[in-house]
């Protein structure tokens, strides 16, 4: 009996508590830096595309919402000819980001992507690409990879020794 009265009083006191609601459209909720929202494609610090079109993200995606096609520029540098993410299917699990070997695909703390038409939820490569390097500012895959591309020969990558001349007898 007393506990009922105490409950009533305690609940009544909540009238003077601060309300926890965030009035959303006017007032934004805090989203952590690692929040898994809209997916972007990042660029290298020098402005080139990071994505090497390895298809690992598409393979990792549990709902098959990522589609892309690889191509190569004349200097041998791989990149996606087109890259498409169907956000009406995406579950924002972040597996693509984990699978990506070049930090190209990243999830961002943005979830305001409502559209009136379903087709508008399909983002193409130009919608996905951003200007900067995203979460990994100093990283440049093509500068550390041992692959030979235009403007960077074998042995010219960072922390890479020049190739050994197997024909030479000199040490």
Partner 1 sequence: MTRLLSPHPIWALLGILFFALNIAAFLIWYERRLLALWQDRYGPNRVGPFGLLQPVADAVKMFFKEDWVPPFADRWPFIGAPAIVAATVLLGFAVVPFTSGIVITDLDIGLLFFLAMSSLGVYSVVIGGWASNNKYALLGGMRAAAQMLSYEVFMGLAVMGTVILAGSFSLGDIVAAQQRTIWYVVPQFLGFVLFLIAGAAETRRLPFDLPEAESELVAGFHSEYSGMKFGLFFVGEYLGVTLISCLITVLFLGGWGGPGLPGLVWFLIKMFGFISFFILLRAALPRPRFDQLMAWGWKLMLPLALANLLVTGAVVLAVH
Nearer to partner 1, 24 or 116 (CB): 24
Nearer to partner 1, 14 or 159 (CB): 14
* Number of residues written out for the chain: 171
Q: How far is the CB of 29 from partner 1 (least distance, A)?
A: 15
Q: How far is the CB of 32 from partner 1 (least distance, A)?
A: 23
Q: How far is the CB of 15 from partner 1 (least distance, A)?
A: 5
Q: How far is the CB of 12 from partner 1 (least distance, A)?
A: 6
Nearer to partner 1, 20 or 29 (CB): 20
Contacts to partner 1 by CB under 8 A: 4, 7-8, 10-12, 14-15, 17-21, 23
Q: How far is the CB of 24 from partner 1 (least distance, A)?
A: 11
One-letter-per-residue 3-state SS of the chain:
CHHHHHHHHHHHHHHHCCCCCCCCCCCCCCCCCCCCCCEEECECCCCCECCCCCCHHHHHCCCCCEEEEEEECCCCCEEEEEEEEECCCCCCCCHHHHHCCCCCEEECCCCCCCCCCHHHHEECHHHHECCCCCCCCCCCHHHHCCCCECCECCCCCCCCCCCCCCCCCCC
Nearer to partner 1, 21 or 114 (CB): 21
Nearer to partner 1, 21 or 119 (CB): 21
């Amino acid at each position: 009996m007393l506990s009922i009265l105490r409950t009533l009083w305690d609940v009544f006191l909540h009238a003077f508590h601060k309300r926890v609601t965030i009035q959303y459209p006017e007032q934004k909720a805090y989203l952590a830096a690692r929040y898994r929202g809209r997916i972007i494609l990042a660029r290298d610090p020098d402005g080139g595309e990071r994505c090497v079109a390895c298809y690992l993200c598409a393979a990792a995606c549990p709902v098959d919402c990522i589609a892309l096609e690889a191509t190569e520029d004349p200097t041998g540098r791989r990149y996606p000819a087109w890259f498409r993410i169907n956000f009406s299917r995406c579950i924002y699990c972040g597996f693509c980001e984990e699978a990506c070997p070049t930090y190209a695909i990243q999830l961002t703390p943005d979830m305001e992507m409502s559209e009136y038409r379903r087709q508008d939820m399909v983002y193409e490569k130009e919608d996905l690409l951003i200007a900067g390097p995203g979460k990994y500012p100093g990283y440049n895959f093509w500068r550390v990879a041992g692959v030979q591309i235009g403007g960077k020969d074998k042995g010219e990558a960072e922390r890479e020794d020049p190739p050994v001349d197997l024909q030479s007898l000199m040490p």
